[in-house]
Amino acid sequence: MKAINGETGIVEPSYVYLPGVAGGEEIQKLTGCDYFSVPIEFGKSGAEKAINVVSSANEYEKKLLEKCYDGLKGNITKGVEFATSK
């Protein structure tokens, strides 16, 4: 609400459709996922910029994240199928 009212610098972790927000396509390429939770900068029009924390992860964190991607991809597929089935 603060961002919609013009306040700047609002950043919150958010689960977003990556191709739908600036900076999201790079994260999509790294994760292989269309949806992912990353810090998002909000503005008057909603989600304005995805902040790529995936690329700055250390090697240990990257290994942990890679194990999550496959499970997440399956959940995303199920969610999209459910949402589009009606």
Residue 2 falls within a domain, yes or no? no
Report pLDDT for 82: 94
Give the domain CATH number at 54: 3.90.110.10
Report pLDDT for 72: 94
Report pLDDT for 86: 72
**Reported pTM:** 0.85
Residue 63 falls within a domain, yes or no? yes
- For the segment 19-69, what is each residue's pLDDT rounded down to a tens digit? 999 999 999 999 999 999 999 999 999 999 999 999 999 999 999 999 999
Residue 3 falls within a domain, yes or no? no
Report pLDDT for 56: 95
Residue 79 falls within a domain, yes or no? yes
Residue range(s) defining the domain that contains residue 21: 10-84
17 by DSSP, 3-state: which? strand
Are the C-beta atoms of residues 6 and 30 closer than 8 Å to each other? no
Residue 4 falls within a domain, yes or no? no
